[in-house]
Copies of this chain bind each other. A is one copy, B any other.
């Protein structure tokens, strides 16, 4: 049994016309003798409208009722898709989370799928039906409706692919795939044909628009091939798969960039064990996300300089928190708005020496000063002045031949 999971995002089912197109896409897979499982999000705008209603009822709306409220959106989209397939003469029906069931654990609004009972869906597929499964929802062991916080309907699609042993999980969305860099920032950006899970995870700033990292990680752990493609254009999308399946890998697969960061430097921090934790703990409890962290080697073994980046909108909050923090001593506090992080990502750099040098040289040629550097096995990130971001993107895109 050749099973494929097709997941449609909110914009793909945003209007009756789009739902009709989605039904045609589903029908085309059936003609290719696939057993098709469909997962749908709510029609675009619906979820936001429901959230707005909940906030009008209470600023502190019940989390369990929030799940009941929001899950109605997927129910509507799914019944319309199933209705359209039946209209086209295709056996189909909706499957709500409780009917399968899809079991979740964790708090309301932020549950995770634990297991999916495959029996009924398997039987239905064997009987020639196309199950239309409400994404984003599950039930807990008290028979309450839950919603899947991170990843939402993508997570539903990945887990269905896992439990029903799908050959592939296709994520239909409003973009054509994953690009070498954000096409809105660089016109020369090219669609990537194939990318590894690891690279995709590192390209979070690009990937987040396409898929949540948590879903990519789920796919990686369960070795599920994902294709991200557009429901409007009939073109191949981007295949996300495991490294070993990728031949002729480029050294660099993509470049990500952030454009609204701030840099914080604590000069002359008393260098003793636990000092970094003392700085970052109150930031973390206040939901401030610290990105790059660099600590200079302390010459005398007593003092050190610590630099980190945060989102620009968190800057004022961060200032306050550091100033009232009595657990740390430092001589000076420096803030800088308007920095940009540029990262080159590629599994190819593991086996190719000199990538770092090429990156630095390409930036140097354009007289772009590098403020901070951090590296991982498949990624090199540099912090530069925001005004140079576009120039840097262009130079690196060319240097690593991503235009080709």
CA distance A94 to B86 in the complex (A): 31
Interface set, chain A 65-103, CB cutoff 8 A to B? 65-66, 68-69, 71-73, 75-76, 78-80, 82-84, 86-87, 93-94, 96, 98-99
The closest CB in chain B to the CB of A80 belongs to: B57
Within 8 Å of chain B (Cβ to Cβ): is A119? no
Q: Which residues of B contact A75 (CB under 8 A)?
A: 68-69, 71-72, 75
Number of chain copies forming the complex = 2
B83 contacts A76, CB within 8 Å? no
Chain A interface extent, by class = 35 or more
Encode A42-75 as 1/0 by CB contact (under 8 A) with B.
Answer: 0000000010011011101110111011011101
Within 8 Å of chain B (Cβ to Cβ): is A20? yes
- Tell me which of A71, A76, A94 has the highest count of chain B C-beta atoms within 10 A of its own C-beta: A76
Cβ 8 A contact of A57, one of B16, B57, B72, B94: B16
Q: Which residues of B contact A86 (CB under 8 A)?
A: 58, 62, 65
Within 8 Å of chain B (Cβ to Cβ): is A19? yes
- The distance from the CB of A49 to the nearest CB of chain B, in whole angstroms, is 10
Interface residues of A (CB under 8 A from B): 16, 19-20, 50, 53-54, 56-58, 60-62, 64-66, 68-69, 71-73, 75-76, 78-80, 82-84, 86-87, 93-94, 96, 98-99, 143-145
Q: Which residues of B contact A84 (CB under 8 A)?
A: 57-58
CA distance A82 to B98 in the complex (A): 20
B93 contacts A64, CB within 8 Å? yes
Contact A83 to B65, CB < 8 A, known contacts A50-B76, A72-B72, A76-B72? yes
Q: Which residues of B contact A96 (CB under 8 A)?
A: 68, 145
Contact A69 to B80, CB < 8 A, known contacts A75-B75, A99-B143, A143-B99? yes
CA distance A79 to B54 in the complex (A): 9
